[in-house]
Amino acid sequence: MSVVHVVSAGEVGGAERMLVDLAAPRATATRAHSVALFTPSDALRALFRDAGLDVDDRGPVREGPLPYLASALGPGDVRWLSGVLERRRATVVHLHTFASQVLGTRAARRAGARVVRTEHSTRVYDDPSCWPFSRWSLRRADAVVFISEHVRAVATARAGRLLAEGAKTSLVYNGVDTARFAPRARGPAPASDERRPVRFVALGRLDRRKGLDLALRALAEVPDAELDVVGAGDERASLEALAGRLGLSTRVRFAGHAGDVRDAIAASDLALSSARQEGLGVALLEAMAMERAVVALPTGGIPEIVRDGATGWLAAERSPEALARAMRSAIAAGAAERRRRGGAARARVVETFSLDAMRAGYEAVYARLERLVAERGASSPP
């Protein structure tokens, strides 16, 4: 039985890193997994290939509304993807990104495969320009997986009737490889007569949803802190300009995309999230697995993983001022308390957000759909 994951994306993000952990050959001895890829990003290609995944690559594609419409509604990409599914003998087509939903659903129906959608964020439910396309795909999905209770609640409020059609929804938290993301000390403590600034790390795409502008405005109110920003995206130039206007140029480092974020996490004291929208937060789970407590705005699914007072500090509200207060509290608490909460953060990841739990959750979804195929034959879904 074969699962083909369809990814149409411009950058590396949490959904793509989660897919590597779900579908990597070392984890999937019982079934074949492969990726059908539509991307302009060489970094994303490298992520999948370096992980040893089988990749069918459409080649460099363009991004934007018109290319999306041509890909989703035109004949070329769906014909190519249908051929991939037939050659891979796909039983299940797993869709991970908005741009893959209509395209992947059309191709799956042609190939007689079942459709799984993972809802990595609430974007398609919040954005009126996405919803008509996503709704068409959702109506035809055989299984829908939510990565957090927050995402499930938003989706149910928007599309409860569609999601109530059959027992097709599941909650499967993203998992983290806790052996790979193992604890590492930042380095030797400074001499007693030195006061080292507390270093925060923010990991993720540089787009408006991640709210890095809010992080910079908060940092401007916390003079004894530094920030490493690790990730790529369209907002980098505007964020660098904002940092300059706020007088933060010596306290903020823009590292760009990192194929391996472990060194950046290890160089930090705390992880920082200023997201405006966040389904769950794979990057935060990775930092927590490396015993870094989190300072965050209480956005989306983040309160499901960050427990204020236990594994980090949650701001009282979603504003730069509240985030700055939480950052100052984390600094004032001292290194020993930050380490204590960091240890509790790793324990929480090991207990609730393990790779084994994530893989078992998806395996149950795949197995259910394969039983449907066996019971009804390999004909296309109605």
The full set of domain ranges for the chain reads: 2-175+354-376, 198-352
**50-71 average pLDDT score:** 91
pLDDT of residue 193: 41
Q: pTM for the full model? A: 0.84
CATH topology agreement for domains 2-175+354-376 and 198-352: yes
Q: Using pLDDT thresholds of 50, 70 and 90, give the confidence band for residue 281.
A: confident
Q: Is the pLDDT of residue 382 over 50?
A: no
pLDDT tens-digit readout, 214-257: 999 999 999 999 999 999 888 999 999 999 999 999 999 999 98
Q: Considering only the top CATH level, what class is 198-352?
A: alpha beta
Closest to 302 measured CA to CA, from 280, 335, 282? 280
- pLDDT class for 190, splitting at 50, 70, 90? low
Report the relative pairing of strands 2-8 and 90-95 from DSSP bridges: parallel
Phi, psi of 256 (to 5 degrees): 75, -170
Please report, in angstroms and rounded to a whole number, the separation of the first and last CA atoms in the chain.
21
Q: What amino acid is encoded at 331 in this protein?
A: I
Which of the four pLDDT bands, split at 50, 70 and 90, describes residue 374? Answer: confident
Q: Which positions ≥6 away from 248 have C-beta within 8 Å?
A: 216, 219, 220, 227
- As a whole number, mean pLDDT of residues 136-159 equals 94
What local confidence, expressed as pLDDT, does residue 11 receive? Answer: 82
Of 133, 137, 128, 135, nearest to 160 by C-alpha is 135
2-175+354-376: CATH class:
alpha beta
